Amino acid sequence: MNHLWAKKVEKDGDLYWLPLAQHLNDTAAVIGLLWEHWLSKGQKNLVISSVGDEEKAKNVTQLLGYLHDQAKCTPAFQTKKSYSRSDDLDKQLLEKLEKEGFIGISTLSLTNPTKSVHALAGQALLESYGVNQSFSSIIGGHHGKPVESSHDVSVQLESYEANYFQNEKEADPIHQKWKVLQKEIFNEGLAKFDFKDSRAIPELSQSACVILEGLLIMADWIASNEAYFPLIGIDEDDSAISQEERIQTGFKKWFKTCIWQPEDFDDVVTLYKDRFGFEPRDVQAKLSESIQQASEPGIFILEAPMGVGKTEAALVAIEQLALKTGRSGMFFGLPTQATSNGIFPRIKEWLANITEDAKQNQSLELLHGKAALNDEFDKIPKAQGIDIDGEENGTIVTNEWFHGRKTGILDDFIVGTVDQFLLSALKQKHLALRHLGLSKKVVVIDEVHAYDAYMGQFLYQAIRWMGAYGVPVVILSATLPGERREELVKNYYLGTGKKWKDAVKPDNLAIQNAYPLITYSDGNKIEQVTQFEKQEGYQVEIHRLDDNELLGTLEGCLSGGGIAGIIVNTVRRAQELYHLISNQFGLENVELLHSSFIATQRVNKETNLMSKIGKNAIRPDKKIIIGTQVIEQSLDIDFDILFSDLAPMDLLIQRIGRLHRHEIKRPEKLTIPKFYVLGTSQTFEFNSGSKAVYGDYLLMRTQHFLPEQIRIPSDISVLVQETYAKDEIDLGEDYLKAKNDQEVFLDCKEQRAKTFRLSNPNKPNKGNLIGWLNNPNPDDREERGSAQVRDSSDSIEVIVVKKTKTGISLVDEDNDLDLSIDAKRLATNTIRLPQALSTIRMIDKTISELEIYNKKKLFDWQIQSWLKGSLGIILDENNQFLLNGYRLTYDLQLGLTYEKEEVNG
DNA sequence: AATAAAAAAAAA
Ligand SMILES: [Fe+3]
Q: State pLDDT tens for residues A127-145.
A: 999 999 999 999 999 999 9
The predicted pLDDT at position A781 comes to 44
The predicted pLDDT at position A238 comes to 81
Nearest DNA or RNA nucleotide to A416 (CA to C1'): B7
The predicted pLDDT at position A385 comes to 78
| Contact predicate A319/A344, CB 8 Å | no
Answer for A225: CB within 7 Å of strand B.
yes
pLDDT digits (tens, 9 = 90+) for A499-518: 999 999 999 999 999 999 99
Span CA (A340) to C1' (B7), Å? 12
Answer for A572: CB within 7 Å of strand B.
yes
A342-377: burial string, b at 16+ Cβ within 10 Å, e else: bbbeebbebbebbbeebebbbbbbbbbebbebbeeb
The predicted pLDDT at position A779 comes to 52
pLDDT digits (tens, 9 = 90+) for A552-561: 999 999 999 9
In angstroms, the CA A83 to CA A686 distance is: 62
Span CA (A836) to C1' (B8), Å? 21
Other CB atoms within 10 A of residue A612 CB: 17
Nearest DNA or RNA nucleotide to A226 (CA to C1'): B12
Answer for A338: CB within 7 Å of strand B.
yes
Span CA (A165) to C1' (B7), Å? 48
Contacts of A665 (CB under 8 A, 6+ apart): none
Distance A200 CA to ligand 1 centre (A): 24
Provide, rounded to the nearest whole percent, the portion of chain A with pLDDT above 70.
98
The predicted pLDDT at position A795 comes to 86
Answer for A253: CB within 7 Å of strand B.
no
In angstroms, the CA A32 to CA A761 distance is: 27
**Of residues A124 and A844, more confidently modeled:** A124
Answer for A144: CB within 7 Å of strand B.
yes
Distance A63 CA to ligand 1 centre (A): 13
pLDDT digits (tens, 9 = 90+) for A848-896: 999 999 999 999 999 999 999 899 999 999 999 999 999 999 999 999 9
Instruction: Give the residue from A166, A218, A229 showing the smallest Cα distance to A402.
Output: A218
Nearest DNA or RNA nucleotide to A629 (CA to C1'): B4
| Contact predicate A628/A571, CB 8 Å | yes
Answer for A374: CB within 7 Å of strand B.
no
In angstroms, the CA A855 to CA A383 distance is: 40
- Is-cis flag, bond preceding A516, omega within 30? yes
pLDDT digits (tens, 9 = 90+) for A765-821: 789 999 999 987 655 444 445 788 998 878 899 999 999 999 999 999 999 999 999
pLDDT digits (tens, 9 = 90+) for A693-724: 999 999 999 999 999 999 999 999 999 999 99
CA distances from A94 to A7, A154, A185, A652 (A): 13, 29, 20, 72
* CA A57 remoteness from chain centre: 30
Answer for A846: CB within 7 Å of strand B.
no
Looking at the predicted structure, is the pLDDT value of residue A905 above 60?
no
In angstroms, the CA A358 to CA A361 distance is: 8
* CA A373 remoteness from chain centre: 17
Answer for A899: CB within 7 Å of strand B.
no
Q: What is the mean pLDDT of chain A?
A: 94
Q: Please identify residues in chain A, positions 428-487, with a C-beta within 7 angstroms of any atom of strand B.
A: 429-430, 452
Domains within chain A, CATH numbers bracketed: 5-254 (1.10.3210.30), 268-347+404-529 (3.40.50.300), 538-712 (3.40.50.300), 793-900 (no CATH)
Other CB atoms within 10 A of residue A616 CB: 6
In angstroms, the CA A349 to CA A355 distance is: 10
Distance A607 CA to ligand 1 centre (A): 49
Answer for A752: CB within 7 Å of strand B.
no
Span CA (A299) to C1' (B12), Å? 36
Distance A121 CA to ligand 1 centre (A): 13
Distance A17 CA to ligand 1 centre (A): 13
Q: CA torsion, points A376, A378, A381, A384, in degrees to nearest 10?
A: 150
DSSP secondary structure of A464-513: HHHHHHT--EEEEES---HHHHHHHHHHHHHHTT--GGG-B--TTTTT--
Answer for A368: CB within 7 Å of strand B.
yes
Tell me which protein residue sits closest to nucleotide B6, measuring alpha carbon to C1': A336
Q: Please identify residues in chain A, positions 663-682, with a C-beta within 7 angstroms of any atom of strand B.
A: none
Distance A321 CA to ligand 1 centre (A): 35
pLDDT digits (tens, 9 = 90+) for A652-686: 999 999 999 999 999 999 999 999 999 999 999 99
| Contact predicate A20/A1, CB 8 Å | yes
Looking at the predicted structure, is the pLDDT value of residue A1 above 90?
no
Fill in the amino acid letter for A689: G
In angstroms, the CA A647 to CA A691 distance is: 9
Nearest DNA or RNA nucleotide to A145 (CA to C1'): B11
Span CA (A555) to C1' (B6), Å? 35
Q: Where are the alpha helices (DSSP H) in A294-336?
A: 310-325
Phi-psi region of A523 (alpha: psi -120 to 50; beta: other; left: phi over 0): left
Answer for A788: CB within 7 Å of strand B.
yes
The predicted pLDDT at position A386 comes to 76
The predicted pLDDT at position A652 comes to 97
**Of residues A537 and A785, more confidently modeled:** A537
Q: What is the mean pLDDT of residues A82-107?
A: 93
pLDDT digits (tens, 9 = 90+) for A684-695: 999 999 999 999
In angstroms, the CA A118 to CA A162 distance is: 14
* CA A15 remoteness from chain centre: 41
pLDDT digits (tens, 9 = 90+) for A587-640: 999 999 999 999 999 999 999 999 999 999 999 999 999 999 999 887 889 999
pLDDT band at A240 (very low <50, low <70, confident <90, very high): confident
pLDDT digits (tens, 9 = 90+) for A429-444: 999 999 999 999 999 9
pLDDT band at A387 (very low <50, low <70, confident <90, very high): low
| Contact predicate A3/A178, CB 8 Å | no
A172-184: burial string, b at 16+ Cβ within 10 Å, e else: eebbebbeebbee
Looking at the predicted structure, is the pLDDT value of residue A301 above 50?
yes
The whole model's pTM is what? 0.95
| Contact predicate A458/A788, CB 8 Å | no
| Contact predicate A209/A241, CB 8 Å | no
Nearest DNA or RNA nucleotide to A69 (CA to C1'): B12
Q: Please identify residues in chain A, positions 274-313, with a C-beta within 7 angstroms of any atom of strand B.
A: none
DSSP secondary structure of A800-817: EEEE-SSSEEETT--SPP
Distance A73 CA to ligand 1 centre (A): 12
Q: CA torsion, points A183, A185, A190, A193, in degrees to nearest 10?
A: 180
Q: What is the mean pLDDT of residues A32-37?
A: 98
3-state class of A599 per DSSP?
helix
Contacts of A678 (CB under 8 A, 6+ apart): A545, A546, A547, A550, A568, A643, A644, A645, A646
Which bases in strand B are touched by protein, i.e. have an atom under 7 Å from a CB? 1-12
Span CA (A280) to C1' (B3), Å? 45
pLDDT digits (tens, 9 = 90+) for A196-232: 999 999 999 999 999 999 999 999 999 999 999 999 9
In angstroms, the CA A49 to CA A326 distance is: 14
Distance A19 CA to ligand 1 centre (A): 11
pLDDT band at A902 (very low <50, low <70, confident <90, very high): confident
Answer for A369: CB within 7 Å of strand B.
yes
In angstroms, the CA A592 to CA A625 distance is: 6
Instruction: Give the residue from A538, A556, A543 showing the smallest Cα distance to A674.
Output: A543
The predicted pLDDT at position A785 comes to 57
Strands A362-367 and A396-397: parallel
Q: Please identify residues in chain A, positions 607-646, with a C-beta within 7 angstroms of any atom of strand B.
A: 628-630, 633
Strands A562-567 and A396-397: unpaired
Bridge partners of A540?
A: A710
